[in-house]
Amino acid sequence: MIRTDDKSLCCGCGACVGVCAVQAITMQTDAMGFRYASVAEDICIGCGRCEQVCAFQKAILRSDSLSAEQPAAYAVRSRDPEALRRSTSGAAGYHLMDAFAAAGGVVYGARFDGPFLVRHERAETRADIGPLRTTKYTQSETDGVFARVQADLDAGRPVLFTGTPCQTAALAASVSGRDRLLLADVLCHGVSAPAVWRACLEDASRRYGVPVASAAFRDPVGRWSETVSSVLFADGTRRTFRHWARLYQKNLMLRPACARCPYASLHRPADVTLGDCWGIGKVRPDWAADDLGASLLLVHTAAGKAWAERLQADWECVPVPLNAVMQPSMTAPVRPGEQADAFARDFLAHGYAFVRRRYAARSLRERWRLLKWNVKRFLKRIGLWR
Ligand SMILES: Cc1cc2nc3c(=O)[nH]c(=O)nc-3n(C[C@H](O)[C@H](O)[C@H](O)COP(=O)(O)OP(=O)(O)OC[C@H]3O[C@@H](n4cnc5c(N)ncnc54)[C@H](O)[C@@H]3O)c2cc1C
Ligand code: SF4
Ligand code: SF4
Ligand code: SF4
């Protein structure tokens, strides 16, 4: 039977729920909005199927080996200005999903279901794929999704599944027909607490006196290198804010499992990995200067390579040395912020407005570093800094 005594051993993928023949497992939501597998021991018949399917616990507890090959790395930018504008980074994710569906495949990815909730959904057309683009930094629910993927695979359909590495690993462990399944994961800093996102939007609604119609964790309309969230109110007004992103970047509200993530490495259970190409200035200074965004594409398998080559007409793809684009999520799991426990206590006791004021304000040191960074970037843009 899977272990449920330690929250850091469950990434919330839900794979175990789908394999339990006696429905002994349900997903329970905690106060931070994270979902965890829970076993009704009086119903469990001890068959061990949940333990077999739990890729996350296997990878942590038994150090299951992943591919040891170094992936090929590319900086990618869409040739279509509109696609670039509407995606989080360089629109690599969008073009992969769009081309896969256009070739007759089925795509699964994360989309908003209302402003608060993120869910994995199935898409076959360009219109369905639109909402899957852009990064949602909270956990995406996958209830029933693995069974739908299996049904598509059984029907002979090629499937592209995009998600966090723990979701793609869970899916790979749950379904048969891997030869028809293409897996695209993201470089993953960790998922944030869904309850904090909801409370953040409710706080905005209270402050401005209008209900929230939709929102974005990281608004693609603006400078790519700056993480700015946005909210669209029911009266049509739009506001941007940075406090939620600061809480995320300070690692104050991440899922406990993220601190033990076995996929924070270059070796992934996926065909390709998508990320932000933060080292872009070292290989394409012009892309860094215009700040429109660039995706990082890591190619792990022959199937991934074939798709990357197929998309040359849609995107510009520049090989990059791995050491120029390395970032923390490729080397080690994220470390929770020193104030993470205090943040959770304060959030649960006093709500979002309180933690926004107490934890999202920048310290003098952070303000100084930001000022230096902005000056350097400005000087680079006008050609006075190389
Ligand atoms: C929780 C999370 C943490 C991340 N951390 C990092 C990081 O530390 N470093 C880094 O370089 N990049 C990180 N990324 C990835 C990055 O923000 C972009 O997704 C990536 O740059 C691709 O951008 P794009 O323009 O190519 O794709 P887009 O066209 O914007 O497509 C985004 C893709 O991500 C998938 N996706 C979005 N939200 C979720 C979600 N909540 N759960 C599962 N799948 C989702 C969508 O299905 C879609 O396929 C993270 C993404 C997520 C979801
Ligand atoms: S990680 Fe996934 S499979 Fe494992 S216990 Fe949690 S929900 Fe179940
Ligand atoms: S051991 Fe078998 S019966 Fe018990 S919870 Fe796991 S899958 Fe269900
Ligand atoms: S950091 Fe690891 S455990 Fe956390 S959401 Fe990302 S892949 Fe899953």
Residue-level pLDDT at 43: 97
- Regarding the beta carbon of 133 and ligand 1, being less than 6 Å apart is answered yes
Q: What is the mean pLDDT of residues 18-41?
A: 96
Per-residue pLDDT tens over the stretch 265-317:
998 889 999 999 998 988 899 998 888 999 999 999 999 999 999 999 999 99
Pick from 11, 167, 335 the residue to mutate for probing ligand 4's pocket: most ligand atoms within 8 Å of its CB.
11
Whose alpha carbon is nearest atom 3 of ligand 4? 258
Whole-number Å distance, alpha carbon 5 to ligand 1 midpoint, is 30
Whole-number Å distance, alpha carbon 102 to ligand 1 midpoint, is 21
Residues 6+ apart with CB under 8 A from 179: none
Q: Return the structure tokens found at 109.
A: 């990815």
* Nearest alpha-carbon partner for 299 in 77, 135, 69, 100: 69
Q: Return the structure tokens found at 360.
A: 């999202």
Q: Domain limits of the chain?
A: 7-62, 67-386
Question: Is the pLDDT at 1 greater than 70, yes or no?
Answer: yes
Pick from 274, 278, 296 the residue to mutate for probing ligand 1's pocket: most ligand atoms within 8 Å of its CB.
274
Q: What is the mean pLDDT of residues 60-85?
A: 81
Whole-number Å distance, alpha carbon 86 to ligand 1 midpoint, is 13
Whether the CB-CB separation of 245 and 200 falls below 8 Å is answered with no
Q: Tell me the pLDDT band of 29, cut-offs 50, 70 and 90.
A: very high
Residue-level pLDDT at 364: 75
Residue-level pLDDT at 62: 65
Q: Tell me the pLDDT band of 372, cut-offs 50, 70 and 90.
A: confident
Whole-number Å distance, alpha carbon 196 to ligand 4 midpoint, is 18
Q: What is the mean pLDDT of residues 76-92?
A: 93
Whole-number Å distance, alpha carbon 15 to ligand 3 midpoint, is 12
Q: Tell how many helices (H) and how many strands (E) occur in the chain.
A: 17, 13
Residue-level pLDDT at 268: 86
Architecture field, domain 7-62: 2-Layer Sandwich (3.30)
Whose alpha carbon is nearest atom 2 of ligand 2? 13
For the CA of 45, the nearest ligand: 3
Which of 61 and 161 is assigned the larger pLDDT? 161
Q: Return the structure tokens found at 182.
A: 């293409």
Whole-number Å distance, alpha carbon 48 to ligand 3 midpoint, is 6
Residues 6+ apart with CB under 8 A from 107: 97, 100, 101, 122, 123, 124, 128, 129, 132, 159, 160, 161, 162
Pick from 166, 248, 253, 335 the residue to mutate for probing ligand 4's pocket: most ligand atoms within 8 Å of its CB.
166
Calculate the alpha carbon distances from 305 to 2, 290, 302, 336 in Å: 35, 28, 5, 35
Question: Is the pLDDT at 61 greater than 80, yes or no?
Answer: no
Residue-level pLDDT at 384: 76
Question: Is the pLDDT at 69 greater than 90, yes or no?
Answer: no
CA–CA gap between residue 171 and residue 38 (Å, rounded): 19
CA–CA gap between residue 26 and residue 17 (Å, rounded): 6
- Regarding the beta carbon of 292 and ligand 2, being less than 6 Å apart is answered no
Phi-psi region of 172 (alpha: psi -120 to 50; beta: other; left: phi over 0): alpha
Residue-level pLDDT at 68: 59
Residue-level pLDDT at 14: 95
Whole-number Å distance, alpha carbon 58 to ligand 4 midpoint, is 15
Question: Is the pLDDT at 378 greater than 90, yes or no?
Answer: no
* Nearest alpha-carbon partner for 275 in 317, 309, 324, 325: 325
Q: Ligand 4: residues whose CB is within 6 Å?
A: 11, 164-166, 188, 190-191, 255, 257-258, 261, 263
Lookup result for tokens 């040359």: 312
Residue-level pLDDT at 380: 76
Whether the CB-CB separation of 294 and 284 falls below 8 Å is answered with yes
- Regarding the beta carbon of 1 and ligand 3, being less than 6 Å apart is answered yes
Return the amino acid letter for 86.
Answer: R
Whole-number Å distance, alpha carbon 3 to ligand 3 midpoint, is 11
For the CA of 333, the nearest ligand: 4
Which of 380 and 65 is assigned the larger pLDDT? 380
Pick from 26, 44, 51 the residue to mutate for probing ligand 3's pocket: most ligand atoms within 8 Å of its CB.
44
Mean pLDDT, the chain, rounded, equals 92
Question: Is the pLDDT at 67 greater than 70, yes or no?
Answer: no
